[in-house]
């Protein structure tokens, strides 16, 4: 699903979206805002690249990060809820992961956790994407847009 598809879908439903991004550094939000008319559906986003910002800006519990690890589905889910709440959006997207080239906390480069939080709950995935740093980040953006599209249609 492309950013244009997501914007059109959200606009047709009169719904909004916000992001909380770590490994993608705002790329999902940037991709969405390339679409003409995106201002009708995009509320904003948080770039929480530093771990402490996940707690202070998005409300991710510090003990969750300590217990589950910063790259985990649980943290991505909390980031998605945080984006949805802070930005008062219908949908929140959370992304955390290891873009590379080095691993983090025993996780290999390419490990990504993506979550979408909406009116009926949250869904998340953990995947291992291949390629260099740029490819992992680009793949994460594409996967996040796909997950949002699926969640909207359920």
What's the rounded Cα separation, in Å, for the pair 99 and 125?
16
Q: 59-89 pLDDT, tens per residue?
A: 999 999 999 999 999 999 999 999 999 999 9
Please give the structure tokens belonging to residue 73.
Answer: 């589905």
Let me know: does 118 contact 91? Beta carbons within 8 Å. yes
Domain of 114 in residue numbering reads as 3-153
How many domains would you assign to the chain? 1
Rg, the chain, Cα only:
14
Residue range 21-35, pLDDT digits in tens:
999 999 999 999 999
Q: Cα 98–103–114 angle (5° rounding)?
A: 20
* Pair of tokens at residue 95: 């992304």
At 68, list the tokens.
Answer: 């589950």
The CATH number covering residue 109 comes to: 3.90.950.20
Q: What is the pTM of this model?
A: 0.97
Of the chain, the percentage scoring pLDDT greater than 90 comes to 98
């Amino acid at each position: 699903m492309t950013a244009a598809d997501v914007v059109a879908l959200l606009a047709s439903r009169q719904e909004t979206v916000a992001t909380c991004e770590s490994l993608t550094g705002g790329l999902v939000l940037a991709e969405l805002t390339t679409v003409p008319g995106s201002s009708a559906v995009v509320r904003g986003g948080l770039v929480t690249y530093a771990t402490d910002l996940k707690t202070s800006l998005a409300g991710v519990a510090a003990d969750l990060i300590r217990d589950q690890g910063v790259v985990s589905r649980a943290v991505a889910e909390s980031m998605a809820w945080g984006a949805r709440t802070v930005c008062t959006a219908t949908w929140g997207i959370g992304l955390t992961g290891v873009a590379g080239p080095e691993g983090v906390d025993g996780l290999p480069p390419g490990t990504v956790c993506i979550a979408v939080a909406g009116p009926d709950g949250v869904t998340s995935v953990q995947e291992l994407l291949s390629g260099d740093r740029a490819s992992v980040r680009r793949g994460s953006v594409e996967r996040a847009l796909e997950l949002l599209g699926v969640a909207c249609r359920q």
